[in-house]
Amino acid sequence: MRHRLTIAALLLGMVAAVPARADIKLAFVDIQRALNECRAGKAAKTQFRGRIERLQSQLEGEQNEVERLKRELEQKASLMQPDQRQNLEDDYEKKLRHFQDDYKNSRDELQEKDNQVTGAIVRDLATVVREIGSKNGYTMVMEKGTLLWAIPGTDITDQVIRAYDAMNVRPGSLGEEAERDAGKFGAAAASEEPPEEGASGRSTIMK
């Protein structure tokens, strides 16, 4: 919270530094909502849900097998020959390790993919925001997560979503274009990290 208050204070200070005779025009964008509602974000979320469902099915099968072997050990180990018991214990430990590794690897893989896809779309959205800000003469366009309060009329999220969808581009392509032609969108465009979203942390299509 202290970090976000500092950002808000800095932004207000920047606005205060604008000469009194200048027209100050401010707006804000809800990046997480834009990510959720733009066509690219919806498609990515649908793909993720299918991937998650497939992984859950696979992991549940592995977990069920591990639990079956554990029950067998608990119920029958005392009745088995030593070599049979050892084989069953080895099989159980092997499948338990395999399940644990698959679970961790799947979680890490999904997180990495989420970071990649989210980052690509958010950079596209940031490019669209800069274009809209430049064309409409905004002094500053802020992210909703840095704001304490703003009137609804300064929210241009819907405009950003419509503009991005109308471009019908491959996710990440606008960010790539900005990197190739930084002068078109501003020198900082190519190197910016995706903005954070509110108190919950970063923006993500897995929300």
**HEC profile for 51-85?**
HHHHHHHHHHHHHHHHHHHHHHHHHHHHHCCHHHH
CATH code (residue 139): 3.30.910.20
pLDDT 10s digits, 148-207 = 899 999 999 999 999 999 999 999 898 777 776 655 444 444 444 555 544 445 788 777
| Stronger pLDDT, 136 or 179, i.e. the higher one | 136
| Stronger pLDDT, 33 or 186, i.e. the higher one | 33
Helix (H) or strand (E) holding 140: strand 140-143
Quick check: is 104 in a domain? yes
Which range of residues forms the domain containing residue 184?
2-191
Split into its structural domains, the chain has a count of 1
pLDDT 10s digits, 39-86 = 999 999 999 999 999 999 999 999 999 999 999 999 988 888 999 999
Indicate yes or no: pTM above 0.85: no
Quick check: is 53 in a domain? yes
Quick check: is 198 in a domain? no
Quick check: is 117 in a domain? yes
- Please give the pLDDT value at position 201: 57
Quick check: is 78 in a domain? yes
pLDDT 10s digits, 74-124 = 998 888 899 999 999 999 999 999 999 999 999 999 999 999 999 999 999
Give the integer Cα–Cα distance in Å for 170 and 40: 8
Cβ pair 26, 142 in contact under 8 A? yes
Quick check: is 196 in a domain? no
Question: What's the full length of the chain, in residues?
Answer: 207
Quick check: is 139 in a domain? yes
Quick check: is 120 in a domain? yes
